Amino acid sequence: MADPKPHANPLFLTEEETRAGLDLLLAAASAVSRVGEGLLADRGIGRGHRRLLALIGRQPGVTLAELAASLGLPKQSASRQIAELVERTLVAVRSHPSDGRRKALRLTPAGRELDDMLWTLERREIARAYRRAGAEAVDGFKMVMGDLARIGGSAGRRPGAAGPRRRP
């Protein structure tokens, strides 16, 4: 496993280093989201839909408003994407158990199957990178990503941000 310490740059807060970090963050997010593009395209959906499937799969019963807030999307945009997932029988919408005016979202069996297939592909790539980096680097990565996720106070609104995948 790689030891990040011999190559650590003591000038890690320079503009060049922070820009390089952002470039890597964006490239990594794009690369991980591309591993399942074929499966998504086969169903006529894209990466934005994948984010919704992942969050609904991690927190069954989440509402549209909670999803929109966690992703920083307008409710209208999230609603349109959810409608497309419902149309493809990947997501089911039910009245919320505690407030019938709110709609709770769950993956259908087909949605769970797709989410599981996508997660298998994504997990393989993430695990490969984790193995190469080693436990200490992964801990550092999680610390940085956690801090970035809290920008603007969004961490408390992110469904499924931590913890194991939950299934109904």
Tell me which amino acid residue 95 is: S
Lowest model confidence (mean pLDDT) among 23-27, 144-148, 157-161: 157-161
Q: Kindly report, residue by residue over 94-152, the tens digit of the pLDDT.
A: 988 888 788 899 999 999 999 999 999 999 999 999 999 999 999 999 999 999 988 86
pLDDT over 70 (residue 162): no
Domain ranges of the chain: 32-152
Sheet with 91-95, strands from edge to edge, namely: 62-63, 103-107, 91-95
Q: What is the per-residue pLDDT for 7? A: 67
For 32-152, the fitting CATH number among 1.10.10.10, 1.10.10.60, 3.30.70.2610, 3.40.50.2300 is: 1.10.10.10
Q: Kindly report, residue by residue over 32-47, the tens digit of the pLDDT.
A: 999 999 999 999 999 9
Output the CA torsion sign for 107, 37, 31, 78. negative
Are 63 and 74 in contact by the 8 Å Cβ rule? The answer is: no
End-to-end CA distance of the chain: 37
Band (pLDDT 50/70/90 cuts) for residue 155 is very low
Write down the pTM of the prediction. 0.80
- Which whole number is the average pLDDT over 64-83? 93
Q: What is the per-residue pLDDT for 152? A: 62
